[in-house]
Structure 1
Amino acid sequence: MQFSSLIETFRFLDFIDIMTVAVAIYFVYKQLKDTRAVSLLKGLLVLAFINVVSHTLNLYVINWILQQGMTVLLFALPVVFQPELRRALEQLGRGRIFNRAQNVSEAEMDSAINEVMAAARVMSREHTGALMVFEREVGLGDYIDTGILVDAKLSRELIKNIFVPSTPLHDGAMIIRNGRIMAAGCLLPLTEDRTLSTELGTRHRAAIGLSEQADCVVVVVSEETGKISYTYGGHIYRHLPEDQIKEALRTFMERPRQTITGMWKWGGSK
């Protein structure tokens, strides 16, 4: 009975209203899914669930603490989501509301890894420094915006050209998403870990710093020694054979949703 009365009172403007809200939610999702903010959003959803449970079970102390915390969150959220809000407004102004997501097969990702390692091998011989970032579950849109958009098919020739010494993109990082080079010359955060070896320069510290903040894998070629290493989870893995680095990249990228801990026995250091 209620459903039939709802149908009778349903207006075309109600349909427009619902569709507008649905599009807005989809737009917000598209903006957050390629950034670190998605992890923060999950935390907020957990807090909202706890709030509902505490209210239902009359857990007065927990409910009071959460209510007081909401006031702080209202002021903190614009600061926390500032990069995402800025990007959303910029894309809205440019008319770039919808971007089609790309999918990549394991064969394509394996090809991308082979191309990266082939380029790294040449740059290692020539002592050309390089930073190559593989995006995984946590989006790196914030860091892509700091560089020059490339959005090109990944190839060893293009990688070597990007990291030619004394060129504008040489000192930054190259970010790979779905088997494509999304941007180059990107700025990465430096790690604040003071226990690291003094042998590690700015390039390695930037690779570690980014891996502390996201679940990406970063391949580093040292300009001084020519050694190839990679970072993940705030750790740097050095002095490894190329085959082991390649196998590590395959393991991380072919099963990105799997939490990989304690599986490397190749002398990773921090």
Structure 2
Amino acid sequence: MFLLDLLRQIRWQDLLDIIIVSIISYRILLIIKGTKAAQMLAGLGILLIASFFSRYLQLYTIDWIIQSFWSQVVIVLIILFQPEIRRALAHMGESSFLQGFTSAEELKSLEEIVKVSVGLANRKIGALIVLERDVSLKDYVEIGTPLDAKVTKELLLSIFHPTSPIHDGAVVIRGNRVVAAGCFLPITLGADVSKTLGTRHRAGIGVTEETDAVAIIVSEETGTISVAIHGKLQTHIDMGTLRDILTDLFTESKKTVGVPKKSQDFLGRRGSENR
């Protein structure tokens, strides 16, 4: 009887409210899944549990410290989750829920990127190629040299040639266009990043920590190809594997959120080399 009375009191607006909150919560969890934000949320959960225990056990000093922290929690969350908040807002503002399929031109551009990566690796020419996905990279593009040119193997080889004045920076690619070269990217400050990695690899990891971009790094010392996705770096990528990763990301990402399952399985199976 009580349950029936409760159901009668539920309005259609209440159901709509619950559905909207559930969708927003689900998409937020997808955005922070596999990022440092997930670990930070776990830490906040531990603090919440500690707050309950401190009150129950009458540990007044600890309780005062924790309560002082909670009074500033909004500011703390904004500081801690700044990259994730920026990524989420950009994702909501720029991408639609129903995206189209990858065009033939974009698939052709991916093949050009694979070929140039292998060509640069064989010649031991260092390179950093960043492929934009849902989150805009315009902040980094504005720092570099604007190009807006079609993606071709010849163009990318000329950009990264040691005599080129913009070979040290990163190339940013959007769709089938090279939008800028000589771009400067944020350097990861992660303590778990291998000391053997240079600035180019750290920049590749850094930009993928703050955005959902894909970074391809070619080492000039070893001639190896590495791929960074969501702050995780996988090294010693061969031509076939690189083609599979890019095709998977830029076709499946039109239908799913985040990293497609095949790429997740690949990164999980091979492990992260930046740890």
Name the TM-score, length of structure 2 as normaliser.
0.59
Match of 1:231 in 2: 228
SS of the residue corresponding to residue 265 of structure 2 reads: coil
Q: CA deviation at 1:139?
A: 0.5
Is 1:266 aligned with 2:270? yes
Query: Matches of 1:104 and 1:134 in 2, distance apart?
Result: 17
What letter is aligned with 1:263?
Answer: D
Query: Matches of 1:104 and 1:173 in 2, distance apart?
Result: 27
Match of 1:166 in 2: 163
Is 1:243 aligned with 2:240? yes
Query: Matches of 2:226 and 2:146 in 1, distance apart?
Result: 25
Q: CA deviation at 1:246?
A: 1.2
Deviations, residues 129-152 of structure 1 (Å, cap 9, x unaligned): 000011000110100001000000
Query: Matches of 1:228 and 1:219 in 2, distance apart?
Result: 7
Deviations, residues 66-101 of structure 1 (Å, cap 9, x unaligned): xxx79xx9xxxxxx99xxxxxxxxxxxxxxxxxxxx
Is 1:114 aligned with 2:141? no
Match of 1:205 in 2: 202
Map 1:53-72 to 2 at 5 A.
Answer: none
Query: Matches of 2:181 and 2:222 in 1, distance apart?
Result: 23
What letter is aligned with 1:244?
Answer: T
Name the CA shift for 1:166/1:245 in 2 (closer, same or farther; >3 Å). Answer: same
Query: Matches of 1:221 and 1:132 in 2, distance apart?
Result: 9
Aligned 8 A contact 1:112 1:154 in 2:
yes
Deviations, residues 3-33 of structure 1 (Å, cap 9, x unaligned): xxxxxxxxxxxxxxxxxxxxxxxxxxxxxxx
SS of the residue corresponding to residue 263 of structure 1 reads: helix
Query: Matches of 2:103 and 2:217 in 1, distance apart?
Result: 23
Identity %: 35
Aligned 8 A contact 2:127 2:218 in 1:
yes
SS of the residue corresponding to residue 196 of structure 1 reads: coil
Map 1:54-203 to 2 at 5 A.
Answer: 105-203=102-200
Aligned 8 A contact 2:187 2:205 in 1:
yes
Name the TM-score, length of structure 1 as normaliser.
0.60
Unaligned runs of 5+ in 1: 1-38, 40-64, 74-79, 82-102
Aligned 8 A contact 1:204 1:220 in 2:
yes
What letter is aligned with 2:116?
Answer: A
Aligned 8 A contact 2:212 2:258 in 1:
no
Aligned 8 A contact 1:113 1:246 in 2:
yes
Q: CA deviation at 1:267?
A: 3.6
Query: Matches of 1:268 and 1:242 in 2, distance apart?
Result: 19
